[in-house]
Every structure is written in C-alpha cells, then in structure tokens.
Chains A and B, each alone.
Chain A
Amino acid sequence: MQDAKDSFYMALRTRLVAINPARTILLRSALRPGILVEEAEAPFAQLPTDVFVLRWLGLGVDQDLPSSMVAAECEVLYSTLGTQSFGGLDRGRALSEMDEELVGMLTPFWTPKFNYATQPATQMLTKVFWDEPVFGPLTALRDRLSRTARVVVYSYEEGSELAG
C-alpha cells in the first residue's frame, strides 16, 4: 500500500503546483508545495495553516479477487486564519479557495502507481484510484477556520509489492 500512498501524495502535490503555485510551506529549511503527509513529518503541536495535511486512517483488504485490492482512507485536513493584510476577515474566502483547490487536486480520480523507493521512481503496471471526497462541516476555533475531507484510495497489489 505504501506505493499507492506515495503515488497519491505525489499526484496531489504535482497538481497543487499547477493549480496554485503560490501555496507553499517552509519546512525544515526547504520551500515546498503546500501539502504534506502527517506520518512522514515530525509531530506537530498544531497543524500548520494554509497547507493541506494528509492523514492516513482506515485500511481494508479484499482478497477475494485475482489481485488483492487494498483500500486506505485518507483524511485531508486544512485550516486558515485568512491573511494579515485583511486582518483575517478573508478567512472564509481563503477556506473556500482551499476547498476548490482540493477538488481540483483530486480530479481526475486516478494516477499511475509509482515505486518511489527506487531512484528514479519506477512506474508500475496499475493505477491508483479513489472515490469522490466527502467534506466535513466547517469548524471555527477562535480565528481559525478548519475543514476535513475524506477520500478512500484504492489500489491493486502487484506481484513485486507482495514479494516485498
């Protein structure tokens, strides 16, 4: 499943750069696109704002198939305080912008599966695909507006993955 998780993240990251190249984050002295995988970073005391954070949750395996299908649930968390120049009064507008960017990043609903453990990454035989996102309600905590969206990501296990 790691290849599918990596491919999903890389696809969203590439698409985000195309949709909004200005959405970036300075992390460990590196300026990166504004999307990260929570489990692949140092723990956060509080999630950064204006950035998409991918959190992997549930896992299911369907083995009654010619190739085992793995389904992993991904929660995308994002929040914003708005901008300083507007005193945070544009935080609703900023969250709507992130909603639209997420929809754009998830379309089309598939991406080729790559093995990123190799250098350079090698393309595998199958594609990673996912269902439509289910958006949670907007939550407000003081001046921070947040939302989560959940999407189930599917992939078929290939022989090379099963062999480890």
Chain B
Amino acid sequence: MAATFYLAPAPVVRRVRGYFAPVNRGMATPVLFDPAEMGRFSLDSPPAPWVSLGWIRNFARKAASKTAPILTGIPAAVLEQTRETLDAQVSFQFLSWTKLTMALATGSQHMNLLVPAAGSAPQADGGVAAPAVVIQSGASATLLPLASADAAQFSAGQVVSVDVDYTGQTGFVGSPVSGAYVKTALTDVDYARRVTFNVATVASVSTSAPAGLTLAGALPGGIPATGMKVQALAGFVDREGGSFFQEWSALFVMEGAQGERIFFHYPRLQSMGSAAEAVSPLAGKQSGTLERVMLAGDFRALPVTDPLDGERVVCYRSYLPAS
C-alpha cells in the first residue's frame, strides 16, 4: 500500500492562547516548557504550573536585537556578523480582567483591595483592613474550614485572599507568587495578603458545622500552609510608578486548522509599560456607543542561558506538525 503524505502549507489560525507561570524570583528560576514532551496538552487545561489567561488579542512580537558586521580587508568587506544586543518585546491585549491579567498588564506592583475595617481612614490602595480570620485544620486548596462566627463574615461570590501575616520580612513577599519586593520592614500585618496572588472566589459559605468556605477554584498556592489567614477582597488596585517589575514565564500557542501548533516560549518576561487600556467598539450593524475595555500588556523578554550549549536566548519558537 502506498504511503500517503501531506505537504503542509502555512498554518491557518484563529486566535492565540496565552499561558503564564510564575518565576521563582528569590531563586531567579523560570519555568521551562518542553514542546516535544508537553506540546500536545489540552489547551483548556494546561499542565501545571502554567495558568491559562483566557483569550488574548492583537498578539505581536518584535525582535529588538541588533547585529553588526565585522569588516576586514581593503576595500572593507563583511567577514562575519556579531550580535551587539539581545532584546525582544511582546505586546497583546487581554480579554479578561482578573487578578492575574491585571497584574501582568501593569508595569508595577498589583495589590488586593482588602475589605476595610469599620471607620478606617480612606487610602488610595485600601485602608486598614477588617481583621483576617484563622483557617482551621483540615483545609484543602478548595475548602477553608473556619469558626462559625468567622464564616458568617463572608458571602458567596466574594473573592478572598489567603496568606500569612506579615511579620516584617524584607525581600520578595507573597506566596506562591512574589507580589512585591519590600526594601525596608513595614508595619501592616495584612501586607502579605494585600500583595499575594493566592486568591479565589467563594462558591458557598457554611456557618453550621462543618463551617467554612468552599471555593469556586483551587487556590494557586494549593493547600494553605499553617498560620495562613483569610480576608475578603473588595477588588484589585495597581499603581502607576514604583520600582517593582512583574516577571513571569510565558507561553503563547497558535493552533492551526489542521492541528499543527506554533509555540512561542519566553522563559522570562517582564512587564514593560505602565498600566494601559485599549478600547474597541462592540461590533454591530449600528454605530453604537458601547466599547469593550481591554487590558493592554507590553512585555520585555529577558535572557536565559540554555543549558544545552550555554547560549543566551530570549525566546524559543517551536512548530509541531499536524499529527
């Protein structure tokens, strides 16, 4: 029987999917993606620790590296080329507003707006918070056992922040993702819960035994560590300015109509621009006034050293033919 084959034309794609994974800032360790081993993953359920960012739009990448010729002879002729600078940039727009997409699309620190205590003085990024409550034993990534009186303070649909009390530590703060870098010790006991990415939405509240919160999704940090507390959020806030840069490992996937896949893997991506929004009118037959507000993200790729041969690189582009 004759073998059949297929000469693949250029892939036809509809959209780009984006996934991010936290860089261990303290250890300066990015997350690496092996397309040969993991490239056929379900786009709706990426392998841990990659987190789907939902849909993104207007994905554009720009190589900013510069090369220069090395000349020799009379008249001078190019003997070889050398790479003078290594730089790359990526930009796109998020179609969701979540804790993660807001954080990625701001050039600075991103914080949780803790529900304030009664009578607390107004602050631009949230005043003195209502006291955090202790998580009882037996917690899981989706279940937070609480005392009945504590559980009664929460309601379904609320977003909650789960982390330890801040006790004056400096350096990178927040688990499982570093949300801030503290240069000098602070006095706010809730600071870790203000900056943590360990947030989730409450699906239901039980005030009778066993009392506690059932979460709609697993906490990014998994099972809460001993000593972690929970606080309700009113929303999120970021500031323009500051000295903290978000840094994440990023993976972008284009899936072709024949099942082929193109991957763009940036091991280290730092947000580059300030918080910015893009608006696009809702499509319709009429020229209406409704506009969709999207988070605009601009990122700079930082180099890693490829252990294969010690070369410094900023992005891996992979192609998996249709199978």
A interface vs B, CB < 8 Å? 58, 60, 62, 64-66, 69, 71, 73, 129, 131-132, 134, 150, 152, 154
B289 partner residues in chain A, CB cutoff 8 A: 131-132
Name the residue of chain A whose CB is nearest to the CB of B284. A152
B319 partner residues in chain A, CB cutoff 8 A: none
Does B288 interact with chain A (Cβ within 8 Å)? yes
Let me know if A132 and B95 touch, CB within 8 A: no
Let me know if A131 and B282 touch, CB within 8 A: yes
Listed A/B pairs (6) with beta-carbon separation below 8 Å = A58-B285, A60-B283, A66-B95, A71-B283, A129-B290, A131-B286
B interface vs A, CB < 8 Å? 14-15, 54-55, 57, 95-96, 282-286, 288-290
Let me know if B286 and A66 touch, CB within 8 A: no
Indicate the member of B55, B95, B286 with the most A CB atoms within 10 Å.
B286
Indicate the member of B14, B283, B284, B289 with the most A CB atoms within 10 Å.
B284
Among B54, B95, B284, which residue has its beta carbon within 8 angstroms of that of A71? B284
Chain A-chain B contacts (Cβ-Cβ < 8 Å), number: 41
Let me know if B282 and A154 touch, CB within 8 A: yes
Alpha-carbon gap, A134 to B96, bound state (A): 29
Among A64, A65, A73, A131, which residue has its beta carbon within 8 angstroms of that of B290? A131
Alpha-carbon gap, A65 to B95, bound state (A): 6
Among B14, B15, B288, which residue has its beta carbon within 8 angstroms of that of A132? B288
Among A62, A66, A134, A150, which residue has its beta carbon within 8 angstroms of that of B283? A62
B95 partner residues in chain A, CB cutoff 8 A: 64-66
Name the residue of chain B whose CB is nearest to the CB of A71. B284
Let me know if A73 and B14 touch, CB within 8 A: no
Among A66, A69, A73, A129, which residue has its beta carbon within 8 angstroms of that of B96? A66
Alpha-carbon gap, A66 to B14, bound state (A): 15
B14 partner residues in chain A, CB cutoff 8 A: 64
In the complex with contacts A64-B14, A66-B95, A150-B54 CB distance below 8 A: no
State how many angstroms separate the Cβ of B8 from the closest Cβ of chain A: 25
State how many angstroms separate the Cβ of A71 from the closest Cβ of chain B: 6
Let me know if B285 and A73 touch, CB within 8 A: yes
Let me know if A73 and B15 touch, CB within 8 A: no
Indicate the member of A58, A71, A150 with the most B CB atoms within 10 Å.
A71
Let me know if A60 and B284 touch, CB within 8 A: yes
In the complex with contacts A64-B95, A66-B95, A66-B96, A152-B55 CB distance below 8 A: no
Let me know if A131 and B284 touch, CB within 8 A: yes
A132 partner residues in chain B, CB cutoff 8 A: 288-289
In the complex with contacts A71-B282, A154-B282, A64-B55 CB distance below 8 A: yes
State how many angstroms separate the Cβ of A130 from the closest Cβ of chain B: 8
A62 partner residues in chain B, CB cutoff 8 A: 283
Alpha-carbon gap, A21 to B254, bound state (A): 56
Let me know if A64 and B282 touch, CB within 8 A: no
A71 partner residues in chain B, CB cutoff 8 A: 282-284
State how many angstroms separate the Cβ of B157 from the closest Cβ of chain A: 9
9 smallest CB-CB distances across A and B, nearest first, come from A131-B288, A66-B54, A152-B284, A66-B96, A134-B286, A131-B290, A64-B55, A65-B95, A64-B15
A65 partner residues in chain B, CB cutoff 8 A: 55, 95
Let me know if B284 and A73 touch, CB within 8 A: yes
Name the residue of chain A whose CB is nearest to the CB of B281. A131
Known interface pairs A64-B55, A66-B95, A131-B286; 11 further A-B residue pairs with C-beta atoms within 8 A, sorted by A's residue number: A60-B283, A64-B95, A65-B55, A65-B95, A66-B55, A66-B96, A71-B282, A73-B284, A150-B285, A152-B285, A154-B290
Alpha-carbon gap, A65 to B55, bound state (A): 6
Name the residue of chain A whose CB is nearest to the CB of B57. A64
State how many angstroms separate the Cβ of A128 from the closest Cβ of chain B: 13
Among B54, B57, B288, which residue has its beta carbon within 8 angstroms of that of A152? B288
A131 partner residues in chain B, CB cutoff 8 A: 282, 284, 286, 288-290
Name the residue of chain B whose CB is nearest to the CB of A132. B289
B55 partner residues in chain A, CB cutoff 8 A: 64-66
Name the residue of chain A whose CB is nearest to the CB of B289. A132
B286 partner residues in chain A, CB cutoff 8 A: 73, 131, 134, 150, 152
Alpha-carbon gap, A60 to B288, bound state (A): 15
State how many angstroms separate the Cβ of B121 from the closest Cβ of chain A: 33
